Amino acid sequence: MTQPLNQKAVCPAAGDLDDELGEFWLENPWQPTDKNMSAYERNRLLLNTRNDGFADLSHASGGADLDSDSRAVVATDFDGDGMPDLLIRSSGGGPLRLFRNAFPHANSVQISLHGKTSNARGIGSQLIAKVDGQTLYREMQTQNCFRGQSPAEVRFGLQAAEQLDELEVRWPSGVIQKFGPLSAGSHYLITEGDANPANITNPQNGDR
Protein backbone atom coordinates (compact mmCIF):
# COMPACT_ATOMS: atom_id res chain seq x y z
CA MET A 1 0.00 0.00 0.00
CA THR A 2 1.61 3.24 -1.10
CA GLN A 3 -0.47 6.36 -0.72
CA PRO A 4 -0.48 9.49 1.43
CA LEU A 5 -2.32 9.13 4.73
CA ASN A 6 -3.78 12.61 4.65
CA GLN A 7 -7.46 11.79 5.19
CA LYS A 8 -9.46 10.31 8.04
CA ALA A 9 -11.89 7.54 7.16
CA VAL A 10 -15.27 7.52 8.88
CA CYS A 11 -17.02 4.15 8.75
CA PRO A 12 -20.16 4.10 10.91
CA ALA A 13 -22.10 0.93 11.62
CA ALA A 14 -24.67 0.00 9.00
CA GLY A 15 -27.48 -0.16 11.57
CA ASP A 16 -28.45 -0.51 15.25
CA LEU A 17 -26.41 -3.02 17.23
CA ASP A 18 -27.86 -5.48 19.76
CA ASP A 19 -25.49 -5.72 22.72
CA GLU A 20 -27.39 -8.67 24.19
CA LEU A 21 -26.67 -10.67 21.04
CA GLY A 22 -23.01 -9.75 21.24
CA GLU A 23 -23.08 -7.49 18.21
CA PHE A 24 -20.37 -4.84 18.05
CA TRP A 25 -18.78 -2.54 15.48
CA LEU A 26 -15.04 -1.99 15.25
CA GLU A 27 -13.91 1.12 13.42
CA ASN A 28 -10.21 1.62 12.74
CA PRO A 29 -9.89 4.76 10.62
CA TRP A 30 -6.74 6.24 9.16
CA GLN A 31 -5.40 9.08 11.24
CA PRO A 32 -4.33 12.28 9.48
CA THR A 33 -0.58 12.47 8.96
CA ASP A 34 1.87 14.22 6.70
CA LYS A 35 3.88 11.02 6.22
CA ASN A 36 3.98 9.20 2.91
CA MET A 37 4.24 5.42 2.93
CA SER A 38 5.93 5.24 -0.47
CA ALA A 39 8.66 7.71 0.52
CA TYR A 40 7.88 9.89 -2.50
CA GLU A 41 9.23 7.37 -4.99
CA ARG A 42 9.67 8.81 -8.46
CA ASN A 43 8.28 7.35 -11.66
CA ARG A 44 10.64 5.57 -14.03
CA LEU A 45 10.65 5.91 -17.81
CA LEU A 46 12.51 3.07 -19.54
CA LEU A 47 13.48 2.93 -23.22
CA ASN A 48 13.74 -0.47 -24.92
CA THR A 49 17.19 -0.67 -26.50
CA ARG A 50 16.34 -3.99 -28.17
CA ASN A 51 19.04 -6.57 -27.48
CA ASP A 52 20.73 -4.44 -24.80
CA GLY A 53 17.76 -4.30 -22.42
CA PHE A 54 16.41 -0.95 -21.21
CA ALA A 55 17.85 2.53 -20.70
CA ASP A 56 16.59 4.69 -17.83
CA LEU A 57 15.46 8.02 -19.33
CA SER A 58 13.58 9.22 -16.25
CA HIS A 59 15.80 12.24 -15.69
CA ALA A 60 15.45 13.31 -19.34
CA SER A 61 11.69 12.77 -19.63
CA GLY A 62 10.74 16.41 -19.18
CA GLY A 63 8.99 15.89 -15.85
CA ALA A 64 7.38 12.44 -16.13
CA ASP A 65 9.55 11.27 -13.20
CA LEU A 66 7.04 12.72 -10.72
CA ASP A 67 7.35 12.02 -7.00
CA SER A 68 3.62 12.45 -6.26
CA ASP A 69 2.71 8.74 -6.06
CA SER A 70 1.37 8.12 -9.55
CA ARG A 71 -1.38 5.52 -9.83
CA ALA A 72 -2.43 5.61 -13.48
CA VAL A 73 -0.73 6.07 -16.83
CA VAL A 74 -2.28 6.02 -20.29
CA ALA A 75 -0.08 5.78 -23.38
CA THR A 76 -1.71 6.84 -26.66
CA ASP A 77 -1.42 9.47 -29.39
CA PHE A 78 -3.29 12.41 -27.85
CA ASP A 79 -2.17 15.07 -30.33
CA GLY A 80 -2.47 13.00 -33.51
CA ASP A 81 1.15 13.28 -34.62
CA GLY A 82 1.63 9.52 -34.88
CA MET A 83 3.65 9.19 -31.66
CA PRO A 84 2.35 7.95 -28.27
CA ASP A 85 2.12 10.49 -25.43
CA LEU A 86 1.68 9.88 -21.69
CA LEU A 87 -1.22 10.90 -19.42
CA ILE A 88 -0.40 10.49 -15.72
CA ARG A 89 -2.63 10.69 -12.62
CA SER A 90 -1.20 10.73 -9.11
CA SER A 91 -2.82 10.00 -5.75
CA GLY A 92 -0.67 12.63 -4.06
CA GLY A 93 -2.85 15.37 -5.46
CA GLY A 94 -2.49 17.77 -8.33
CA PRO A 95 -3.99 17.76 -11.80
CA LEU A 96 -3.81 15.21 -14.57
CA ARG A 97 -0.52 15.66 -16.38
CA LEU A 98 -0.13 15.15 -20.12
CA PHE A 99 3.40 14.69 -21.42
CA ARG A 100 3.77 15.19 -25.17
CA ASN A 101 6.20 12.93 -26.99
CA ALA A 102 9.03 15.16 -28.22
CA PHE A 103 11.31 12.43 -29.54
CA PRO A 104 12.50 12.83 -33.16
CA HIS A 105 9.73 11.70 -35.48
CA ALA A 106 9.90 8.16 -36.86
CA ASN A 107 7.46 6.31 -39.10
CA SER A 108 4.87 3.96 -37.64
CA VAL A 109 1.66 2.11 -38.44
CA GLN A 110 -1.23 1.96 -35.96
CA ILE A 111 -3.67 -0.96 -35.90
CA SER A 112 -7.13 -1.29 -34.32
CA LEU A 113 -9.22 -4.45 -34.51
CA HIS A 114 -12.94 -5.16 -34.73
CA GLY A 115 -13.92 -8.72 -33.93
CA LYS A 116 -17.02 -10.51 -35.14
CA THR A 117 -16.63 -14.09 -33.92
CA SER A 118 -13.90 -12.99 -31.52
CA ASN A 119 -14.42 -10.26 -28.90
CA ALA A 120 -15.24 -6.78 -30.20
CA ARG A 121 -11.78 -5.23 -29.71
CA GLY A 122 -9.80 -8.30 -30.72
CA ILE A 123 -8.20 -8.55 -27.28
CA GLY A 124 -5.72 -11.42 -27.25
CA SER A 125 -5.10 -11.33 -31.00
CA GLN A 126 -1.51 -11.87 -32.11
CA LEU A 127 -0.12 -9.48 -34.72
CA ILE A 128 3.03 -10.43 -36.63
CA ALA A 129 4.54 -7.80 -38.93
CA LYS A 130 7.41 -7.86 -41.38
CA VAL A 131 9.34 -4.72 -42.28
CA ASP A 132 12.72 -4.45 -44.00
CA GLY A 133 13.50 -8.10 -43.32
CA GLN A 134 12.65 -7.87 -39.61
CA THR A 135 9.77 -9.60 -37.85
CA LEU A 136 7.87 -7.71 -35.13
CA TYR A 137 5.47 -9.35 -32.67
CA ARG A 138 2.62 -7.67 -30.80
CA GLU A 139 -0.47 -8.77 -28.88
CA MET A 140 -3.65 -6.72 -28.75
CA GLN A 141 -4.21 -5.67 -25.15
CA THR A 142 -5.56 -2.63 -23.31
CA GLN A 143 -2.38 -2.24 -21.21
CA ASN A 144 -3.99 -2.00 -17.80
CA CYS A 145 -2.33 -0.42 -14.81
CA PHE A 146 -3.60 0.12 -11.27
CA ARG A 147 -6.09 2.87 -12.11
CA GLY A 148 -5.71 3.40 -15.83
CA GLN A 149 -6.22 1.67 -19.14
CA SER A 150 -4.78 2.51 -22.54
CA PRO A 151 -6.84 2.14 -25.74
CA ALA A 152 -6.96 -1.22 -27.51
CA GLU A 153 -4.50 -0.43 -30.29
CA VAL A 154 -1.15 -1.68 -31.54
CA ARG A 155 1.61 0.47 -32.97
CA PHE A 156 4.50 -0.80 -35.09
CA GLY A 157 7.54 1.46 -35.20
CA LEU A 158 9.10 1.49 -38.67
CA GLN A 159 11.97 3.95 -38.13
CA ALA A 160 12.67 5.27 -41.68
CA ALA A 161 10.74 2.55 -43.57
CA GLU A 162 7.85 3.84 -45.70
CA GLN A 163 5.62 0.82 -45.27
CA LEU A 164 4.87 -2.28 -43.27
CA ASP A 165 5.51 -5.04 -45.80
CA GLU A 166 3.19 -7.69 -44.36
CA LEU A 167 0.88 -8.06 -41.38
CA GLU A 168 -0.57 -11.32 -40.10
CA VAL A 169 -3.42 -11.22 -37.58
CA ARG A 170 -4.23 -14.33 -35.56
CA TRP A 171 -7.63 -13.86 -33.91
CA PRO A 172 -8.72 -15.64 -30.69
CA SER A 173 -11.35 -17.46 -32.78
CA GLY A 174 -8.60 -19.13 -34.83
CA VAL A 175 -9.13 -16.96 -37.92
CA ILE A 176 -5.84 -15.95 -39.58
CA GLN A 177 -5.64 -12.99 -41.97
CA LYS A 178 -2.76 -11.46 -43.91
CA PHE A 179 -2.48 -7.93 -45.25
CA GLY A 180 0.09 -5.68 -46.85
CA PRO A 181 1.75 -3.55 -47.69
CA LEU A 182 0.43 -0.97 -45.21
CA SER A 183 1.58 2.64 -45.56
CA ALA A 184 3.57 4.39 -42.83
CA GLY A 185 1.76 7.16 -40.98
CA SER A 186 -1.60 5.43 -41.24
CA HIS A 187 -4.13 4.08 -38.76
CA TYR A 188 -5.90 0.94 -39.99
CA LEU A 189 -9.04 -0.74 -38.69
CA ILE A 190 -9.04 -4.48 -39.42
CA THR A 191 -12.35 -6.30 -39.17
CA GLU A 192 -12.32 -10.03 -38.54
CA GLY A 193 -13.03 -11.84 -41.80
CA ASP A 194 -12.91 -8.76 -44.05
CA ALA A 195 -10.39 -8.90 -46.87
CA ASN A 196 -9.33 -5.25 -46.80
CA PRO A 197 -8.36 -3.07 -43.81
CA ALA A 198 -9.99 0.36 -43.55
CA ASN A 199 -7.66 3.36 -43.41
CA ILE A 200 -9.14 5.49 -40.62
CA THR A 201 -6.32 8.03 -40.37
CA ASN A 202 -7.79 11.33 -39.17
CA PRO A 203 -6.37 14.19 -41.28
CA GLN A 204 -7.85 16.78 -38.89
CA ASN A 205 -5.57 15.49 -36.15
CA GLY A 206 -2.55 15.51 -38.41
CA ASP A 207 -1.83 11.77 -38.21
CA ARG A 208 1.34 10.99 -40.06
Q: Is the pLDDT of residue 83 over 60?
A: yes
Query: What is the fold, at CATH topology level, of the domain defined by 107-199?
Result: Immunoglobulin-like (2.60.40)
Q: Is the pLDDT of residue 201 over 80?
A: yes
Q: Count Cα atoms within 13 angstroms, Cβ side, for 185.
A: 11
Q: What is the pLDDT of residue 170?
A: 97
Percent over 70 (pLDDT), the chain: 84
The confidence band for 93, taking pLDDT boundaries of 50, 70 and 90, is low
Q: What is the pLDDT of residue 125?
A: 95
Q: Is the pLDDT of residue 122 over 90?
A: yes
Residue boundaries of the structural domains of the chain: 46-99, 107-199
Q: Is the pLDDT of residue 49 over 60?
A: yes
Residue 43 · residue 88 · CB < 8 Å:
yes
Residue 62 · residue 102 · CB < 8 Å:
yes
Percent over 90 (pLDDT), the chain: 32
3-state helix/strand/coil string of the chain: CCCECCCCCCCCCCCCCCHHHCCCCCCCCCCCCCCECCCCCCCCCEEECHHHCEEECHHHCCCCCCCCCEEEEEEECCCCCCCCEEEEEECCCCCCEEECCCCCCCEEEEEEEECCCCCCCCCCCEEEEEECCEEEEEECCCCEECCEECCCCEEEEEECCCEECEEEEECCCCCEEEECCEECCEEEEEECCCCCCEECCCHHHCCC
The confidence band for 129, taking pLDDT boundaries of 50, 70 and 90, is very high
